[in-house]
Structure 1
Amino acid sequence: MSAMEFLKSFTSFLTILNESIKLIPRNGKLMAFVAISSLALSSTIFLLFSYSTQYVITDYTNNIMKTFMPDLASFNATDPNPIKPEDALLLADKMNMLTREYFARLLAIQIPFLFTLVVISSFTSISTILVSSVSYTSKKSSLNEVFSIVLNIWRGPMVTVLYVSALAVGYCLFVITLAALLFVYPSVITYWLAISVAILAVFLYLYLLVSWFMAVVASVLEEGCYGFEALVRGENLVKGKKFCGFLINVCFNVVGLIVFWGCKKMVFLGDNKGFPRMMLYGVVSVGVSCLGKIFVDVAYTVLYLQCKVQNGEEIELRRSVHYSKLPTVQLDKEMA
């Protein structure tokens, strides 16, 4: 990439940030409702998940302690070997059985909670993208109107989210496998090589996310576009502005890390690092993640609309269950 292309992408990135900040107040009450709903639901799910997990872990620890505590009625202090070999085998079998049982209970708790969080995040993204696309044209929308659209189109974007999630999980598993292979023969060289691979993998992931995010936006705003078709559409649409999307991802991840680090320092002041403090930090982290994800959705909606204008395509915005077409010229004037 030449210096001129980098400057152009960076300028476009700043323009998108500026437009995104201006966009949020245009349908401020509606956007606030989406944000507050997402925060309330996500925080509630996180608290239920944390307390349930804590209960299972505490119960498991207590049962393990009872298993290994000697029976005082049959305890003989003069016996040099109070635990017989056959008793040790029985204890080991019981511990393995308890471990398997509680691991299954943890999975039974975690999977539904994680699925619920994904559903909440997906519906938040759909609503945010719809509101942002309408706000971009300085139009107003109502809560009933957004609900009616979401209820009519949620299946397509959800399929696209599943495709994107599968790609992300596959990519992470590939990177983890590659890193594990490097540690088969541990040395200073493989250690630094693994760190280099991890850093490159993170930046490549942020680059790939551009097309994946654009696929989700396209599946929300374009009728009949979802799944693999949306992935192809997102890749084709963002050509020429992919580095701009990459800068969005890098910016928000860096800001997010700084905010998380600052929240951790504030929550864990002093030596008090008990469960309540961990819960507080978790709730704060969930809140920051929700708000950050909403802003990213707004930014990618702006990027999507700018890409359509750049490609000379007509803008079609969902209104109720129909489309209203907006001339490209009007958007060009607003972007100027």
Structure 2
Amino acid sequence: MVSLGMGTESKARRSGPTKNARALLKEIRSMKLSDHLGVMGILRESFAILKKNGMLTASITFLTILPNTLLFLLHHFSVKQLVVDLVLKIMDVYQEAPGSPEYMELVEQIRRDIGILMLKEAIFKTAMWLVFLFSVTGTVYASAMTYTGMSLTLKELILRIRATWTGPAITWFYVSLLILGCSLLALAPVGLFTMVSTGSSGSIALSAFSLLLVLLLLLVSLYLSSVWIVGLVVSIIEDGCYGLEAIGKAEELMKGSRLQGCVLTLLCVTVLIPISGILGSIIGNTAFTEATQLGIASLLMSIACLLKIFGSTVFTLFYYQCNIIPGEKVEMKQGTGYIMIPSVPYVAEALPC
């Protein structure tokens, strides 16, 4: 089995594949089409990739969990007392006569505390967003390189992230705007369903219609989420494709694989949502000591980080599965240069030297 290095790959790109290589590539593509990975196949292959690239996976995991945990603890200790003081001041302001000097002073303090709280939240959200972007970009890069039979060191990975992070950042900015817009649009039918389900005069037909509408919204949100995630993968792997262009390309690639993408998204969400719920209940449970709360919360956050890393690998493989059908090639960013990566995994190993 022969593996092509970057120099051999560049030479092959300059001279072009031979006739026999083209025929072999066509044969492998047709074989892969008939052996297309299903949902379980993608999950199994994702585990295999993370295991195969163990050292790099461990490095990404460490560089994801550590800053997330530190930011969580720093946020907790810097914001907790501020929130407690703000609540006490709001309670005190109702005890004062409106317009009195004490009332005006409390109002001014509340305003100032809210401004400080919003500033701190913005700083922490930005820091968490940067850690998330590093984790996703690093995981997708590492998974793509491993899947296509190539090696990558941590130093090379960090250099590539530093050189190409703007594309994924722009894509994620657009995704955030789309999420906000879709959430606002979904408020109306969800509100209607809530009013009908709690009202005494609501008809059964209207209740059923509202429920169906909510279920339809959930299905649409699953599909849109899968498109947005694949769009983020596209902006990381493909050169010069980011933002709305990457999201549009993701939607085009997923034709014929929409159900598979929705199932993968549902599996990821089904695991992550309960962890978020448990995390919130632990933090708000006064039966635990503060040390116990923070310890359990840090453990749950670490598990969530591991699941997100695994999810990034899953959607990297799903992206390549989507590329198998059109039989395209994509350009992987390689710092100062580029190499052509076949959409069929390990195809380079089958080509002659």
What's the TM-score bracket when you normalise by the shorter of the two chains? Answer: 0.7 to 0.9
**Among candidates 135, 144, 162, match of residue 155 of structure 2:** 144
5 Å matches for 1:1-336?
12-63=38-89, 87=97, 89-90=99-100, 92-180=103-191, 187-188=199-200, 189=202, 197-259=213-275, 272-327=287-342, 331=346
Label 1:255 to 1:321 Cα distance change in 2 as closer, same or farther (>3 A): same
Partner SS state of residue 317, structure 1? strand
Structure 2 SS opposite 1:51: helix
Residue 242 and residue 169 in structure 1: after superposition, are their counterparts in 2 closer, same or farther (change >3 A)?
Answer: same
The separation in 2 between residues aligned to 1:108 and 1:181, in whole angstroms, is 35
Question: Per-residue deviation at 1:213?
Answer: 0.8
Amino-acid identity (%): 23
In the other structure, the counterpart of 1:3 is: none
> What is the number of equivalent residue pairs in this alignment?
309
- Name the CA shift for 1:328/1:97 in 2 (closer, same or farther; >3 Å): closer
- After the TM superposition, which of the residue ranges 227-236 and 94-103 deviates more from structure 2? 94-103
Distance in 1, matches of 2:92 and 2:276, equals 39
Name the stretch that deviates more: 57-66 or 313-322.
57-66
Partner SS for 1:225: coil
Cα deviation, 1:125-176, whole Å, max 9, x if unaligned, reads: 1111000001102322111211121111111111001011110111112223
Distance 1:284-1:171 versus aligned 2 partners, 3 A rule = farther
TM-score normalized by the length of structure 1: 0.79
The one-letter amino acid paired with 1:225 is C
Cα 1:310–1:288 change in 2 (3 A) is same
* Mean Cα deviation higher: 314-323 or 302-311: 314-323
* Structure possessing the higher relative contact order (Cα contacts under 8 Å, 6 or more residues apart): 2
After alignment, is 233-242 or 87-96 more displaced? 87-96
Cα distance per residue 1:38-82 (max 9 Å; x no partner): 11011111111121210202233454577688xxxxxxxxxxxxx
Contact 1:130 1:318 in 2 (8 A): no
> Runs of 5+ in structure 1 lacking a partner?
1-7, 70-82
C-alpha distance in 1 between matches for 2:136 and 2:186: 27
Letter in 1 for 2:136: S
Give the whole-Å Cα distance in 2 for the aligned partners of 1:11 and 1:146. Answer: 27
Does the CA-based 8 Å contact 1:128-1:298 persist in structure 2?
A: yes
Q: Given the two structures, how large is their TM-score scaled by the length of structure 2?
A: 0.76
Is 1:157–1:220's contact at 8 Å kept on the other side of the alignment?
yes
Residue 173 of structure 2 aligns to a residue in which SS? helix
What is the Cα-based RMSD across aligned positions, in Å? 3.3
Residues 232-283 of structure 1: CA deviation (Å, up to 9, x unaligned): 1111111111111111111122223455567789x69x97235444433432
CA distance in 2, matches of 1:262, 1:57: 22
Alpha-carbon contact 1:305-1:315 (below 8 Å) kept? no
